[in-house]
Amino acid sequence: MVNNNQKINELQQGMVFLNNRKKNLDKVKGQLKLIEAFDTAKLDNVNEKEIGVLKSLEDRFDKALSEYGIEYKTFMDNYHRGVESVRQCKADCLNAYTSSQDNYTFLRKSCQAGCDFKGPYVSPCKDSFGTSRINSKKCNEITNGRCLNGNIVLGQEEIVNGLEYADHKNVTMGEGCCDCGGGYGGRPKSNYRGKNLRTCDEVPEALGFQKYQADLLKTACVQARVTNSQINSTLYQSYNTLKSKNLELINLAQEIFDKIQQMRGVNDNININMSEQDKELENSLNLYGNIYADILQNQGKQDRTITGQLEDIQLKEASQSMHFVIWGGLAVLVVLMAVQRMSQ
C-alpha cells in the first residue's frame, strides 16, 4: 500500500526531474541565440518557423514551471503544517485529560486516535471490497443507508462488519468500503496494539470497553482538535492537481527537446551547403588555374597580333570574373564555418 511519505517522495522526485530539465534547457538557449544571430537569409522559411515554435514552447515551459513551483511550495507547507497540527493535537490531549479523571489513560488514547483521523493525506480512498457474495453488488450499491462519509450508521454495525454481506474473499463492507471507513488510502488510520482503527466508533471496543461504556471515549475522539483539519481533508485534491501538472510539464519538456532535435537539421543543412561550396570553389580554382596559365603564356609572346590581343583581353576579363567568384565563395565559406562552429 502506498503511504503519504511515498506519495510525497514521488512529487519531490518529479520536482527534481523538472529542475534538471530546466537546467538542460538553459544550456541550449545560447545555441538558439546563435542560430537567431545567423543571417536569416541563409535559413529557409521552415527553419525560421521552427525557431519561433521552439521559443514559444520554451516560454510556456518557463511560465508553467514557475507557477508549478509556487503551488508545490504551498502544498508542501500545508502538508508539513498538517503533520505538525496532529502532533500538537496529541500533546493537547494529555493536558485535556488529567489523572484526576476516571479512565484518563483511555480518554487520552481515544483523543489521540481522533487526532490521527484528522491528519493530512494525499491519496483518496479506494474500495478494496469486490462484490457481495449474496447479491453481487459493489460498495456504492450496498452501503446506502448503512454507511456515510466513512462512518457506519447507528444500528448497522453488525451488517457492515459481519460476513453475511462480505465479498468472496471475506472482506466485509467495514473493511473494504470507503463509505464505511474501510478501503485503502484516504483518511489516516490510528493503530492500537497492532490493529488499524478507522473511525471513532471503533475506538472504545479496541480499548476494551463495552458499547454502553463507549460514549465518553467516542466523545473524546470526536472532539480532538486539529487546527488544520479542513485543509488536511482536501490535501489529496491539491496533490492530484500537482501530479497532473507535473506530468504535463514533463511532456512539454520532452516536446521541447524533440523540437531541438529537429533543429539540428539546420546544422545538417549548413554542412550540406558547405560541402557544395567546397566543390564549387574547387572547380573555380581549377578553372582559374587554366585561365591564368593561358595569360602567362600570352604575356610571354613578343609578337602580339590583333587576335592575340583580343584573346588577352578576354582572358583578363575572365580572370577578373573568376577573382570575384573565388573571393565571394571564400567569404561565404568562412561565414558558414563560423556559424557551424558557434552552433556546436
Q: Rounded to whole angstroms, how far apart are CA atoms 154 and 173?
A: 15
pTM for this entry: 0.60
DSSP for 111-122 reads HHHHHHHTS--S
Distance, CA of 2 to chain centre: 19
Q: What is the mean pLDDT of residues 66-91?
A: 93
pLDDT confidence band for 114 (50 / 70 / 90) = very high
The three cell numbers locating residue 248: 504535463
| CA 301 vs CA 247, 298, 304, 318: distances in Å | 82, 5, 7, 20
- The pLDDT tens digits for 245-281 are 888 888 888 887 777 777 665 555 555 454 554 455 4
Any idea how long the chain is?
344
- The pLDDT tens digits for 279-328 are 554 454 444 444 444 444 544 444 444 444 444 445 444 444 444 444 44
Rank 111-125, 197-211, 242-256 by mean pLDDT and report only the highest. 111-125
The per-residue pLDDT for 27 is 62
The per-residue pLDDT for 45 is 54
Instruction: Quote the mean pLDDT of the chain.
Output: 75
The maximal CA–CA distance of the chain, rounded, in angstroms, is 139
Q: Where are the domains of the chain?
A: 266-343
The H or E element spanning position 195 is: strand 195-197
Q: Rounded to whole angstroms, how far apart are CA atoms 52 and 47?
A: 9
The per-residue pLDDT for 159 is 92
The per-residue pLDDT for 31 is 53
Q: Rounded to whole angstroms, how far apart are CA atoms 193 and 173?
A: 22
More confident residue, 27 or 175: 175
Q: Rounded to whole angstroms, how far apart are CA atoms 239 and 232?
A: 11
Q: Are 179 and 123 in contact (CB under 8 A)?
A: no
DSSP label at residue 17: H
pLDDT confidence band for 7 (50 / 70 / 90) = confident
